[in-house]
Amino acid sequence: MCRFLVYAGLQRPILMADLVTNPPHSIILQSYASREREESPLNGDGFGLGWYTLPTADGELDREPCVFTSVTPAWNNMNLVRC
């Protein structure tokens, strides 16, 4: 079960949790109660997140993204819950 989420906005900074863990159908809920996997809604695979930091004062972005990966499932990862 792969999920892709893209957010592009410069209006105001937002928390990663506003996109990944706080929504009613968050990635955590999707990893243990997926509606697409009827025979077995549990997804015990790992996950990953990637993002770029805010632009610097001169408007430059880092060329390398920040990356967080885990071999544990989203519903069992305490670092994801804290983001």
Residue 59 gets the label, from left (phi > 0), alpha (psi -120 to 50) or beta, of left
Local mean pLDDT, 10-residue blocks, the chain (83 residues) = 70 79 81 65 74 75 82 80 64
> Which pLDDT does position 1 carry in this prediction?
53
> Which pLDDT does position 83 carry in this prediction?
53
- pTM for this model (two decimals): 0.63
Q: Which residues are catalytic?
A: 2
> Which pLDDT does position 31 carry in this prediction?
73
> Which pLDDT does position 5 carry in this prediction?
74
